[in-house]
């Protein structure tokens, strides 16, 4: 047993985050940790890594009691944490990042040759090919994550805690990460792996623990779990999938794009979008999906192409405001940095997209605003009682609902949703898909992007497949499958 907690309790004011949690991590195992949003996974991870203090309970690493409240004590105890937000110094080289804080030196001078040698040794151990001199900022997110893992390995950490490490990775990059984690297991490193993606948890982990409402409800070897039994354990009851709403898509063409190009990013993309249609954009990370949405939303000043909105030719929108005037709105992929003003209340965030409707003249009408926000957010299954709290105090799933709620407030004709389920749990994902379907049923045309290709297959009426900034295929609902999308993609990527 390399790490164990006994009777951990943690409350936030009014919220019982953790209740009597006993968690064990064995040497050289990959231990999956799953649960819905708000189940307490992140809190437990933060207590293990020292970012939070437990109110009561005991934490032991390698048989020694770890004192509360000091992340550095954790590091000394051999615990390394990798969060979704990476701690890479972008301007430093890859090698310097790996040996950050404990540079290899000769006297007072950093030894370049020694650093390179040690770096190469580490990368070969994990079967990676990263240039030690390359600036960290120029590496992909996946490779930056690898640097963090190398850093943990260089410091000889025996316990690795990863909180949703695959959320921002594409399929190929995920595979590589799994390989790396397995490689670390061979080295005897124990990993706590937090993820919403149950398939990967089942494929990767040795044991899986499920959390629900602040309690650890079960820990079993992976062979004893199935996807269904995990979902049941997470939700405490059997999840009934809502039958897909039958919709008729109108003939009316809301959007026609011809020859859209963004220099160096997108080339000659043409497609149409009908009223009430859900169009999915498939492809790997970096294939140009996000850029396509941003170009449509006027967030990219370099975009050019022919645009017809409801049959009328329009100048390509170069500002967000001109796109909004055409009825096109973007719910961006990065909730915290692009989607929400975290310091403002949830209600204020919802009304931000159109403040005139909750104001008389220049004066805001606070009550109207709260009522309107409550109506919208209730329809998304979001408790209306917390609308006055700052957006930053909500969980990822609820923040995503706020981003969608913002645009329900304005009701654009075309809604572009980038990574619309990132960081949301199973229940939340089903809810979000239902919301999208409902909106389309009400006549909104929606373009969705998701790295979870299953969701596109399940939710979209039609899927456009992108690779290297080009449109390489189109799949109707009848012939869409994850395999087909990937086959299309890899034909291009291999060449």
The span from the CA of 25 to the CA of 66, in Å, is 15
Nearer Cβ to other proteins, position 219 or 353? 353
Ranges within 423-442 binding other proteins (CB under 8 A):
425, 427-428, 431
Q: How far is the CB of 194 from other proteins (least distance, A)?
A: 17
The span from the CA of 346 to the CA of 403, in Å, is 10
**Residue count at the site for other proteins (CB under 8 A)?**
59
Q: According to the binding rule CB under 8 A, does residue 45 interact with other proteins?
A: no
CB under 8 A: which stretch of 138-146, 197-205, 325-333, 448-456 binds other proteins?
325-333
Ranges within 407-426 binding other proteins (CB under 8 A):
410, 425
CB under 8 A: which stretch of 84-92, 159-167, 346-354, 442-450 binds other proteins?
346-354
Task: Choose which of 154, 205, 297, 467 interacts with other proteins (CB under 8 A).
Answer: 297
Q: According to the binding rule CB under 8 A, does residue 38 interact with other proteins?
A: yes
Owner of token pair 């190398």: 150
Strands of 445-449's sheet, edge to edge? 328-331, 414-418, 445-449, 278-282, 462-467, 470-476
Q: According to the binding rule CB under 8 A, does residue 320 interact with other proteins?
A: yes
Residue 112 structure tokens: 């370049």
Q: How far is the CB of 213 from other proteins (least distance, A)?
A: 6
The span from the CA of 62 to the CA of 27, in Å, is 9
Contacts of 337 (CB under 8 A, 6+ apart): none
CB under 8 A: which stretch of 91-99, 341-349, 450-458, 479-487 binds other proteins?
341-349
Contacts of 109 (CB under 8 A, 6+ apart): none
Per-residue mark of binding to other proteins, 179-218 (x: CB under 8 A): ----------------------------------x-----
Report which of 403, 399, 379 is spatially closest to residue 389, judged by C-alpha positions.
399
Task: Choose which of 58, 217, 342, 482 interacts with other proteins (CB under 8 A).
Answer: 342
Task: Choose which of 128, 364, 434, 482 interacts with other proteins (CB under 8 A).
Answer: 364
Q: According to the binding rule CB under 8 A, does residue 352 interact with other proteins?
A: yes
Nearer Cβ to other proteins, position 340 or 489? 340
Nearer Cβ to other proteins, position 43 or 97? 43
Cα–Cα separations (whole angstroms), residue 424 to 102, 427, 435: 36, 8, 14
Task: Choose which of 7, 188, 236, 259 interacts with other proteins (CB under 8 A).
Answer: 236
Q: According to the binding rule CB under 8 A, does residue 383 interact with other proteins?
A: yes
Q: According to the binding rule CB under 8 A, does residue 343 interact with other proteins?
A: yes
Q: According to the binding rule CB under 8 A, does residue 341 interact with other proteins?
A: yes
Task: Choose which of 88, 154, 269, 330 interacts with other proteins (CB under 8 A).
Answer: 330
Q: In 109-170, where does DSSP find H-type helix? A: 112-125, 141-154
Q: According to the binding rule CB under 8 A, does residue 301 interact with other proteins?
A: no
Residue 191, H or E segment: strand 190-194
What is the chain's length? 495
Nearer Cβ to other proteins, position 246 or 356? 356
Residue 232 structure tokens: 């049941």
Exposure letters 261-280 (e unless 16+ CB within 10 A, then b): bbeebbeebebebbbbbbbb
Q: How far is the CB of 386 from other proteins (least distance, A)?
A: 6
Residues 195 and 164 sit within 8 Å (Cβ to Cβ): yes
* DSSP code string of 299-366: --TT-EEEEEETTEEEPPP-SHHHHHHTTEEEE-S-IIIII--TTSBHHHHHHTT--GGGEETTEE-H
CB under 8 A: which stretch of 12-20, 170-178, 219-227, 257-265 binds other proteins?
12-20
Interstrand relation of 56-61 and 3-12 (parallel, antiparallel or unpaired): antiparallel
Q: According to the binding rule CB under 8 A, does residue 277 interact with other proteins?
A: no
Q: According to the binding rule CB under 8 A, does residue 354 interact with other proteins?
A: yes
Report which of 296, 316, 271 is spatially closest to residue 414, judged by C-alpha positions.
296
The span from the CA of 444 to the CA of 255, in Å, is 12
CB under 8 A: which stretch of 96-104, 182-190, 324-332, 484-492 binds other proteins?
324-332
Q: How far is the CB of 343 from other proteins (least distance, A)?
A: 4
The span from the CA of 377 to the CA of 406, in Å, is 9
355 phi and psi angles, rounded to 5 deg? -80, -15
Nearer Cβ to other proteins, position 37 or 191? 37
Cα–Cα separations (whole angstroms), residue 247 to 243, 250, 328, 434: 12, 9, 22, 12
Q: According to the binding rule CB under 8 A, does residue 386 interact with other proteins?
A: yes
Residues that bind other proteins (CB under 8 A): 12-16, 36-39, 52, 213, 234-237, 239, 297, 299, 320-321, 324, 329-330, 332, 337-344, 348, 352-356, 359, 362-364, 381-383, 385-386, 388-390, 392-393, 398, 406, 410, 425, 427-428, 431
């Amino acid at each position: 047993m390399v790490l164990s907690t006994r009777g951990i309790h943690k409350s936030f004011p009014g919220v019982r985050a953790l209740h009597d949690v006993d968690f064990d991590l064995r040497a050289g195992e990959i231990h999956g940790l799953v649960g819905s949003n708000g189940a307490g996974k992140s809190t437990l991870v933060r207590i293990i890594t020292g970012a939070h203090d437990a109110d009561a309970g005991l934490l032991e690493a390698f048989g020694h009691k770890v004192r509360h409240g000091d992340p550095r004590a954790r590091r000394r105890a051999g615990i390394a944490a990798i969060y979704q937000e990476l701690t890479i110094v972008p301007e430093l080289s890859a090698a310097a990042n790996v040996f950050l804080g404990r540079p290899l030196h000769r006297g007072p001078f950093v030894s370049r040759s020694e650093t390179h040698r040690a770096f190469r040794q580490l990368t070969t151990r994990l079967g990676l090919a990263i240039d030690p001199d390359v600036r960290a900022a120029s590496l992909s997110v996946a490779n930056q994550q690898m640097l963090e893992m190398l850093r943990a390995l260089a410091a000889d950490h025996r316990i690795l805690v990863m909180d949703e490490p695959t959320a921002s990775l594409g399929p190929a990059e995920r595979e590589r990460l799994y390989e790396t984690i397995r490689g670390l297991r061979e080295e005897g490193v124990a990993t706590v792996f937090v993820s919403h993606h149950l398939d990967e948890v089942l494929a990767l982990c040795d044991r899986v623990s499920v959390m629900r409402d602040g309690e650890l409800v079960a820990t079993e070897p992976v062979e004893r779990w199935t996807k269904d039994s995990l979902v049941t354990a997470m939700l405490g009851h059997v999840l009934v999938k809502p039958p897909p709403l039958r919709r008729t898509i109108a003939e009316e063409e809301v959007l026609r794009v011809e020859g859209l190009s963004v220099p160096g990013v997108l080339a000659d993309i043409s497609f149409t979008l009908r009223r009430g249609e859900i169009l999915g954009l498939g492809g790997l990370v970096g294939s140009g999906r996000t850029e396509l949405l941003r170009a449509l939303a006027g967030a990219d000043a370099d975009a050019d192409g022919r645009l017809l909105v409801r049959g009328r030719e329009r100048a390509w929108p170069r500002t967000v405001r001109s796109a909004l005037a055409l009825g096109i709105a973007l719910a961006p992929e990065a909730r915290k940095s692009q989607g929400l003003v975290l310091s403002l209340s949830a209600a204020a965030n919802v009304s931000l997209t159109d403040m005139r409707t909750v104001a008389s003249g220049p004066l805001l009408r606070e009550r109207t605003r709260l009522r309107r926000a409550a109506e919208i957010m209730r329809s998304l299954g979001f408790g209306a009682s917390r609308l006055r709290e700052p957006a930053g105090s909500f969980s990822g799933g609820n923040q995503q609902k706020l981003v969608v709620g913002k645009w329900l407030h304005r009701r654009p004709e075309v809604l572009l949703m980038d990574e619309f389920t990132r960081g949301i749990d199973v229940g939340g994902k089903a809810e979000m898909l239902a919301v999208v379907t409902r909106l389309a049923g009400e006549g909104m045309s929606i373009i969705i992007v998701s790295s979870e290709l299953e969701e596109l297959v399940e939710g979209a009426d039609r899927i456009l497949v992108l690779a290297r900034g080009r449109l390489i295929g189109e799949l109707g609902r009848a012939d869409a499958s994850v395999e087909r999308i990937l086959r299309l993609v890899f034909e291009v990527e291999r060449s």
